[in-house]
Amino acid sequence: MKVLIIGGGGREHAIARKAAQSPRVDKLYCAPGNAGIAGVAECVDIAVSEFDKLADFAVEEGIDLTIVGPDDPLVGGVVDVFEGRGLRVFGPRKRAAVIEGSKAFSKDLMKKYQIPSAAYETFDHPSQAVAYLSRNDKYPIVLKADGLALGKGVLICNTHQEALDGVKLIMEDKQFGDAGDRLVIEEFMTGREVSVLAFCDGTNIAPMTSAQDHKRAKDGDQGLNTGGMGTFSPSPFYTAEVDEFCRRNIYQPTMDAMKAEGREFKGILFVGLMLTQDGPKVLEYNARFGDPEAQVVLPRMKNDIIEVIEACIDGRLDQVRLEFEDNAAVCVILASKGYPEGYVKGLPIEGLEAFQGKEDYFVFHAGTKKFGDEILTNGGRVLGVTATGRDLREARQKAYEATAWVDFANKYMRNDIGKAIDEA
């Protein structure tokens, strides 16, 4: 098979590495890819937003299967464009990707189908939101821009004034652009957060092993929200009982709800969960693999990812048994100092060769670029250093050991990825 992966971050590197291991794959392409992905796939210089060019390439090269990584093209309808051209593609159609593209949609869906989640209200005008806040006396409260905002459109407001400022920022100043045309105001929940990614074939849903992300930029969950500064898998808090509850009350009901709405969901559903005192509740849905969740989940997966994806497309996921190694993985993101705000790019990266030939260490490239013989930093999140181990403690110790093998001038990382393990 010839396989094309759309995207160019650490998540796509993890998908590409896994796909390259499949005996069914003869040739792997990635658009646009990055310097690390170039080690396992041929990179094609087409942006993820250029749907027609991507489809033209797939037709010309006789691509048998395309896998879409990022949220933007999915929400924008790249799957519909590919299907319209008779191409085989893995990911939700636009009608289904709205589960990530609109928080108001996903909240309404959960309410209608009684899927546990935080209480909320939706607003189209800032004045309505302000009026609502004047009646509210429970803080913190959570403000969410309705649309895609690079994972940054969520504000946790501790006071009435902060909430008013947040409404202005999202709905009037349009800090997150059109994503702020609507606003969801949500009850604040407390508990452990867990990410569960699941393969979906429209009818059946097969959850993968659990993971936990660290969204804040600084140690101790301080600082701004980022795309994710590190992950570990599995989550010790995601017990068999929690899994059983989620399968019955969240995962399958979500599949059924989307189908009932005429929005059959095929692809990867990412369920962000909060394990509250009243049981697991949905924080958010995403319509794709998480980044950097994929970097700890996929290295632990035993199945041939291409076979599982084909089963999803063909609607026979019920015949597949997902299997994961009985081990653990930790991923520490090496970022550019200053991320998620301003930072410098184009700095040379040293030491990447140290990962060669090591089975349980991986360096996933997130924002890198080849320049002659050098590999340069090319983004806020630069590399994802993953290690596997017998248990979380060993995996964490190995991942942090490996972060020292690579260096670039403005290298920044959190030092407490997986610290929660010690409390389990």
- Residue 193: name its binding partner from ligand GLY, ligand AMP, none (Cβ under 5 to 8 Å by kind): ligand AMP
Among positions 141-160, residues that touch ligand AMP (CB under 6 A) are: 142, 151, 154, 156
DSSP bridge partners of 286: 270
Among positions 358-387, residues that touch ligand AMP (CB under 6 A) are: none
Amino acid at 202: G
Assess 139 for contact with ligand AMP (CB under 6 A): no
- Structure tokens belonging to residue 26: 């003869």
Helix (H) or strand (E) segment spanning residue 242: helix 240-246
Is 28 or 331 the residue whose CB approaches ligand GLY more closely?
331
Closest distance to ligand GLY from the beta carbon of 288 (Å) = 8
The number of residues making up the chain comes to 424
Is 237 or 285 the residue whose CB approaches ligand GLY more closely?
285
Is 203 or 276 the residue whose CB approaches ligand AMP more closely?
276
Assess 291 for contact with ligand AMP (CB under 6 A): no
Closest distance to ligand AMP from the beta carbon of 188 (Å) = 4
Is-cis flag, bond preceding 292, omega within 30? yes
Is 200 or 352 the residue whose CB approaches ligand GLY more closely?
200
- Which member of 4, 79, 184, 283 binds ligand AMP (CB under 6 A)? 283
Is 261 or 291 the residue whose CB approaches ligand GLY more closely?
291
Interface contacts to ligand GLY, rule CB under 6 A: 151, 213, 228, 286, 290-291, 293
State the DSSP string of 13-50.
HHHHHHHHT-TT-SEEEEEE--TTGGGTSEE----TT-
44 close to 3: Cβ distance less than 8 angstroms: no
Beta strand spans in 238-378 (E): 266-276, 279-286, 328-336, 361-365, 368-371, 374-377
CB-count burial class (<10 Å; 0-12, 13-18, 19+) for 60: exposed
Assess 118 for contact with ligand AMP (CB under 6 A): yes
Per-residue contact track with ligand AMP, 200 to 229, x per CB under 6 A?
Answer: ---------------x--------------
Is 228 or 418 the residue whose CB approaches ligand GLY more closely?
228
Assess 186 for contact with ligand AMP (CB under 6 A): yes
Closest distance to ligand AMP from the beta carbon of 221 (Å) = 8
Q: What distance in Å separates the CA atoms of residue 112 and residue 351, rounded to the nearest whole number? A: 52
394 close to 371: Cβ distance less than 8 angstroms: no
- Structure tokens belonging to residue 413: 């990382």
Assess 184 for contact with ligand AMP (CB under 6 A): no
CA torsion, ordered 234, 285, 225, 48, to nearest 10 deg = 100
297 close to 366: Cβ distance less than 8 angstroms: no
Closest distance to ligand GLY from the beta carbon of 151 (Å) = 5
Q: What distance in Å separates the CA atoms of residue 81 and residue 97, rounded to the nearest whole number? A: 14
Assess 271 for contact with ligand AMP (CB under 6 A): no
Closest distance to ligand AMP from the beta carbon of 243 (Å) = 20
Is 226 or 303 the residue whose CB approaches ligand AMP more closely?
226
- Residue 69: name its binding partner from ligand GLY, ligand AMP, none (Cβ under 5 to 8 Å by kind): none
User: DSSP state, 369?
Assistant: E
Q: Which residues sit at the interface with ligand AMP, rule CB under 6 A?
A: 118, 142, 151, 154, 156, 186-189, 193, 215, 272, 283-284
